[in-house]
A = this chain, B = another copy of it.
Amino acid sequence: MSPRPPKTSVTDRLRDDILAGSLAPGTRLIEIQLTDRYGVGRAAIRSAIVELDKEGLVVREANRGAKVRAISVEEAIEVYEARAALEGLMARHAAREATKLEREELRALVPGMREAVERDAPTRFAALGRDLHERVSQIGRHRVARHLIDTLRNQSRGHPDRLSAIPARPEQSLAEHIAIIEAICSGDADEAQAAVERHIESIIATLRRDAD
């Protein structure tokens, strides 16, 4: 048994490269070149491009090839609006269905967040934010919403708004996160949904401001 490399799919590798910014928006994705880059045949590349097109990370034009999608601020705002609707739904479910243990684990995130803000560690704070999101998605137990949210998150990542992923005002973001956690833990579904929506709306507001 040779230590077989886990053999992550070409689609995953390409997606990661796009999200990491190693393939900038607008870059043409030429099948032969990618064949070379990833060491697989054109068929695999082709399939990966089709998939990522459906995920909204790539645009394909007939007979003209594909390129990494560049989304405008307007589109980014739409993505966030859709996320607000779906993540609101997810939070609502989470508030209803969280177990006692899950609520405790959620609350346990707060001290770390506070600390990250106090020590001015935005990267760490952002990581905890992703963590919070991931937990809520698990707790909500809503596979359809989860899948859509994940796709949308990828779309709004790494593009013109990359900066706003690290929020301008961590204090506000912290307060919003705490509100979300509190609502879910206390089982208040309406408030959980509203808190998530407010949080994302405030991101949208920042986006709008920066767009001017």
**A interface residues, Cβ below 8 angstroms from B:** 43, 46-47, 50-51, 54-55, 75, 78-79, 81-82, 84-86, 88-89, 142-145, 148, 152
**How many copies of this kind of chain does the complex include?**
2
Find chain B residues with CB under 8 A from A81 CB. 89, 142, 144-145
**Given A46-B47, A50-B51, A82-B142; 4 other pairs, CB 8 A cutoff:** A54-B54, A81-B142, A82-B86, A85-B85
Say whether A75 contacts B148, CB under 8 Å: no
Find chain B residues with CB under 8 A from A148 CB. 82, 148
Say whether B142 contacts A78, CB under 8 Å: yes
Say whether A75 contacts B144, CB under 8 Å: yes
Say whether A143 contacts B75, CB under 8 Å: yes
Find chain B residues with CB under 8 A from A84 CB. 89
**Min distance, Cβ A19 to any Cβ of chain B, angstroms:** 17
**Min distance, Cβ A207 to any Cβ of chain B, angstroms:** 14
A-B contact pairs, 29 of them (CB 8 A): A43-B43, A46-B47, A47-B47, A47-B50, A50-B50, A50-B51, A51-B54, A54-B54, A54-B55, A75-B143, A75-B144, A78-B143, A78-B145, A79-B144, A81-B89, A81-B142, A81-B144, A81-B145, A82-B89, A82-B144, A82-B145, A82-B148, A84-B89, A85-B86, A85-B88, A85-B89, A86-B86, A144-B152, A148-B148
Find chain B residues with CB under 8 A from A79 CB. 144
